């Protein structure tokens, strides 16, 4: 069953339509021009009317802002203080987030298969995102694997090219956290 259109305000829908048009031009255009559209939209009076997130206690939260069956999805996330999201990937597709408030550290990683389902992960680049900054995951130019850390309570809007309900995570496979195993996990609605 295809996702249905959600009830959102006119400003959210206008930004969404621009993001959908970019995605129709390809992943490159979507990831290169999408963050600026979302950044401008966030600064528009009334954008957050009716847009809310859940309060994050022990884990991050993700609330649907807008999706349609033929386009990307926008989600509003809240990250609790000192929360670390294990390394994960997004199905080989690009995505981006724009910080509303707080701060996130995003570490891009590479996985080296050691044996069977065991991987060694190495950080290849890291980014500090502050309010208004965009965190971009672009597997075309780097790794799809990334980890996220929020030192303080943080809220961000994420845009994905499609609405997957599972992710691929890398879970420590030994007590020293030297090696990781790849697992599929269910995402929170």
Q: Are 40 and 91 in contact (CB under 8 A)?
A: no
The per-residue pLDDT for range 45-85, each reduced to its tens digit, is 999 999 999 999 999 998 999 999 888 999 999 999 999 99
Could you give all domains of the chain from N- to C-terminal order, each with its CATH number?
10-186 (2.60.120.10)
Residue 27: which residues within 8 A CB-CB, separation 6 or more?
93, 94, 138, 140, 161
Q: CB under 8 Å to 177, separation ≥6 — which residues? A: none
Query: What mean pLDDT is reported for the chain?
Result: 89
Confidence of residue 2 (pLDDT cuts 50, 70, 90): very low
Cβ–Cβ < 8 Å for 2, 69? yes
pLDDT at 138: 84
Q: What would the pLDDT profile of 13-35 be if each residue is shown by its tens digit?
A: 999 999 999 999 999 999 999 99
Q: How far is CA 165 from the centre of its chain?
A: 13
- Provide, rounded to the nearest whole percent, the portion of the chain with pLDDT above 70: 92
Residue 142 CB neighbours (<10 A): 15
The count of C-alpha atoms lying within 13 angstroms of the C-alpha of 159, restricted to the half-sphere facing its C-beta, is 33
pLDDT of residue 189: 52
Say whether pLDDT at 176 is over 90.
no
């Amino acid at each position: 069953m295809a996702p249905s259109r959600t009830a959102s305000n006119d400003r959210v829908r206008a930004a969404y339509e621009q993001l959908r048009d970019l995605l129709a031009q390809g992943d490159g255009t979507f990831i290169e021009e999408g963050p600026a559209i979302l950044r401008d939209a966030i600064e528009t009076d009334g954008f957050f009317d009716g847009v809310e997130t859940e309060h994050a206690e022990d884990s991050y939260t993700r609330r649907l802002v807008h999706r349609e069956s033929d386009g990307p999805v926008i989600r509003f996330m809240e990250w609790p203080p000192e929360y670390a999201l294990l390394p994960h990937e997004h199905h080989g597709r690009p995505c981006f987030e724009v910080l509303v408030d707080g701060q996130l550290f995003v570490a891009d990683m590479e996985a080296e298969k050691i044996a069977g389902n065991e991987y060694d992960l190495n950080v290849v680049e890291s980014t500090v995102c502050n309010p208004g900054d965009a965190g971009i995951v672009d597997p075309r130019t780097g790794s799809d694997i990334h980890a996220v850390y929020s030192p303080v309570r943080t809220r961000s809007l994420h845009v994905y090219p499609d609405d997957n309900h599972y992710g691929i995570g890398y879970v420590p496979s030994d007590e020293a956290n030297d090696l990781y195993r790849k697992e599929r996990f269910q995402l929170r609605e």
